[in-house]
A = this chain, B = another copy of it.
Amino acid sequence: MKFEVGQKASFTKTISESDVYLFAGITGDFNPVHINAVAAEKSLFKKRVVHGALTSSLISTVLGTILPGNGTIYLEQNSKYVAPAYINDTLTAQVEIIKIEENKAMLGTYVFNQSGEKIMVGTAKVKLPVS
Q: Are B58 and A57 in contact (CB under 8 A)?
A: no
Q: Which residue of B lies closest to A77 (CB)?
A: B79
The one of B23, B29, B61, B80 that contacts A29, using a Cβ cutoff of 8 Å: B61
Q: Are B76 and A80 in contact (CB under 8 A)?
A: yes
Q: Are B61 and A28 in contact (CB under 8 A)?
A: yes
Oligomer: number of copies:
2
Please report the total number of A residues contacting B with Cβ < 8 Å. 41
Bound complex: CA A111 to CA B27 (Å): 13
Q: Are B80 and A57 in contact (CB under 8 A)?
A: no
Q: Which residue of B lies closest to A44 (CB)?
A: B73
Q: Which residue of B lies closest to A15 (CB)?
A: B26
List 11 extra interface pairs beyond A13-B28, A54-B57, A57-B57, CB under 8 A. A11-B28, A22-B22, A26-B54, A27-B57, A27-B58, A34-B64, A43-B71, A52-B60, A53-B57, A53-B74, A77-B79
Enumerate 18 A-B pairs (CB-CB under 8 Å) in ascending A order.
A13-B27, A26-B26, A27-B54, A27-B57, A27-B61, A28-B65, A29-B65, A31-B65, A34-B64, A43-B71, A51-B57, A52-B60, A53-B56, A53-B60, A75-B81, A76-B79, A78-B78, A79-B79
